[in-house]
Structure 1
Amino acid sequence: MTDVLTGDADKALKAKHRAMWALGNYPELAEDLISALGTTLVGALDIGPGQRVLDIAAGSGNAALPAAQAGAGVVASDLTPELLAAGERRAAALGLELDWQQADAEALPFANDEFDTVMSTVGIMFAPHHEASAAELVRVVRPGGRIGLINWTPEGFLGQMLATMKPYAPPPPPGATPPPRWGNEEHVRSLLGDRVTEFSAIRKTLPVTRFDSAEELRDYFKARYGPAIVTYRNIGNDPERVAALDNALVELISRFDSGSCNLEWEYLLVTARKTE
């Protein structure tokens, strides 16, 4: 099992993560591009009235809001309060009531077996220590309860975008596992192990047709996506590296473009039950 940072080192790491996801405008990106993922996950888990649901790394409510619309009692947790605040505003506009709580996916402030369903949509994958966050995910769902995850695959567009940015980004913290590993079926099976049954993993794609050019898509991420903003800030004093990363991202987008800047972003949909 990967060692998890403790004490001041862990606090500093989590502070960096909170700050990164508060940069740009991730709530806008989530609503513009990936809102369908939350609805897909809620449907796959058959969430409905009377269920108590936890959304881990919920961001601004991509899955939490449709779960509440389906009639569930929802707790939306995230490390970054700015994202939760954006979610609260969206919920108010929709007339929905959810419980928004700041929480670390690697140390959730909830009791054992507290929820009927625990889920995460391209969120828990960014917690650096996968074994710790997986253990917490399983701990807080009741025996026989449902677990649902959507995560970007390593081979898909988002996984490859993160890999493209990695040489230009600040070094990862000690013991961290790359986020897209959560999109690898065998990795997720190993994380959950015999603590779950009825494990299912399906690769699916999300169509993205909003953009007219690779450059427009690249610049959209540069302005709104925390990991991209941090990466560009890391090389901001080196124009040659900035240009190199600009070109690398355009090449990547072009590789996934099926024509007219239409892309399919691959993700892994995982569902399981906690062993009784």
Structure 2
Amino acid sequence: MSTTLDLTAVKARQQKTWASGDYGAVAARIHPMSEWLVDAADLPAGARVLDVATGTGNAAIAAARCGCLVTGVDYVPELLERGHARAAAEGLPVTFVTGDAERLAYPDGAFDAVLSVVGVMFAPDQERAAAELVRVCRPGGTLALAAWTPDGFIGELFRTVGRHVPPPAGLRAPVEWGSVERVRELLGGSVHDLRTTRREFVFRFTTPEEFADFFRANYGPTLKAFEALEADRRPALHADLVELARRHGVGTDGTVRIPSAYLELVARRAPAS
């Protein structure tokens, strides 16, 4: 990573990005990913669980449904407020805390399991974030992650947006967390019994145009990209998003179904040496 990259400034922009639009609308669609990950992690009732970069609480709520003692941490207070309201509506005792995935305010080994669903992957300092996930998980505890893959639909979405509004130079792509090679590099010898599964979540829209409009209005990175462009350049980005959905769509009934690949990872923290 370039030493000239101001990660603090990147993180400040990210916070504003994720607070824009309505990420809760996007998170509501992909909630099944969290249920599947929690099921794969086989979390026991009573386990102390931390959901890192929880957003509106998808994985935290899924773990709480298993009877776990759950804390969700995120650096965007607006998203945490939505998560708290969701958990309260279901009567689930989830604790939501403002915090930074790269500087988790918990002792070493404080949790039996540490989760993140398409969340920690956006931390600008990937090595530091990975080290924090491992640090707060007790030896023998569970790490369970889900991240969009570089070669899947969301990976191409980011590249499409990046052709119009390039990301900061020197910043590693978030979808690298969806690469088996990269995630092994990040976690290294800190874990064992590492199992990875390539899975698909299917986005569903009535038309490609509806997809483009939905992501433009609700998904912070896309919304901010449109805002960054001059008005006369925005139609071209919209057209590229429509074409992206049309190219990846597999619907045969006139609607759009978009398979979106992601990597599901479950591992155990290695015993302390």
Question: Could you tell me the TM-score, scaled by structure 1's length?
Answer: 0.93
Q: 1:4 to 1:83 in 2, by over 3 A?
A: farther
Q: 1:217 aligns with which of 211, 216, 233?
A: 211
Alignment of 1:224-243 (within 5 A): 224-235=218-229, 237-239=230-232, 241-243=233-235
Q: 1:270 to 1:256 in 2, by over 3 A?
A: same
Q: Which residue of 2 aligns with 1:84?
A: 80
Shift of 1:176: 2.1
Q: Which residue of 2 aligns with 1:30?
A: 27
Shift of 1:14: 2.3
Q: 1:255 to 1:12 in 2, by over 3 A?
A: same
1:113 lines up with 2:109 in the alignment: yes
Larger deviation, residues 178-187 vs 242-251: 242-251
Q: Which residue of 2 aligns with 1:164?
A: 160
3-state DSSP of counterpart to 1:34:
helix
Shift of 1:139: 0.7
3-state DSSP of counterpart to 1:55:
strand
3-state DSSP of counterpart to 1:64:
helix
Given that residues 56 and 124 in structure 1 are in contact (C-alpha distance below 8 angstroms), is that contact kept between their aligned partners in structure 2?
yes
3-state DSSP of counterpart to 1:191:
helix
CA distance in 1, matches of 2:37, 2:44: 12
Q: Which residue of 1 aligns with 2:174?
A: 179
CA distance in 2, matches of 1:190, 1:275: 15
- Alpha-carbon displacement from aligned partner over 1:76-117 (angstroms, at most 9, x marks no partner): 000101000000000110011111111111111111111100
- Alpha-carbon displacement from aligned partner over 1:2-53 (angstroms, at most 9, x marks no partner): 46789xx54433221111101010012111x201011011101111311000
1:55 lines up with 2:51 in the alignment: yes
Given that residues 7 and 125 in structure 2 are in contact (C-alpha distance below 8 angstroms), is that contact kept between their aligned partners in structure 1?
no
Q: 1:253 aligns with which of 240, 245, 256?
A: 245
Given that residues 24 and 82 in structure 2 are in contact (C-alpha distance below 8 angstroms), is that contact kept between their aligned partners in structure 1?
yes
Q: 2:119 aligns with which of 120, 123, 126?
A: 123
Q: Which residue of 2 aligns with 1:203?
A: 198
Shift of 1:59: 0.4
3-state DSSP of counterpart to 2:256:
coil
Q: 2:11 aligns with which of 14, 19, 25?
A: 14
Question: Could you tell me the TM-score, scaled by structure 2's length?
Answer: 0.94
Larger deviation, residues 40-49 vs 140-149: 40-49
Given that residues 192 and 268 in structure 2 are in contact (C-alpha distance below 8 angstroms), is that contact kept between their aligned partners in structure 1?
yes
The share of aligned pairs that are identical, in percent, is 41
Structure 1 segments unaligned to the other structure (5+ residues): none
Larger deviation, residues 245-254 vs 81-90: 245-254
Alignment of 1:33-48 (within 5 A): 33-48=29-44
Given that residues 47 and 67 in structure 1 are in contact (C-alpha distance below 8 angstroms), is that contact kept between their aligned partners in structure 2?
yes
- Matched to 1:189, the amino acid is R
Given that residues 168 and 234 in structure 1 are in contact (C-alpha distance below 8 angstroms), is that contact kept between their aligned partners in structure 2?
no
CA distance in 1, matches of 2:166, 2:268: 37
CA distance in 2, matches of 1:105, 1:5: 21
CA distance in 1, matches of 2:73, 2:3: 20
Given that residues 38 and 66 in structure 1 are in contact (C-alpha distance below 8 angstroms), is that contact kept between their aligned partners in structure 2?
yes
Given that residues 107 and 136 in structure 2 are in contact (C-alpha distance below 8 angstroms), is that contact kept between their aligned partners in structure 1?
yes
3-state DSSP of counterpart to 1:84:
helix
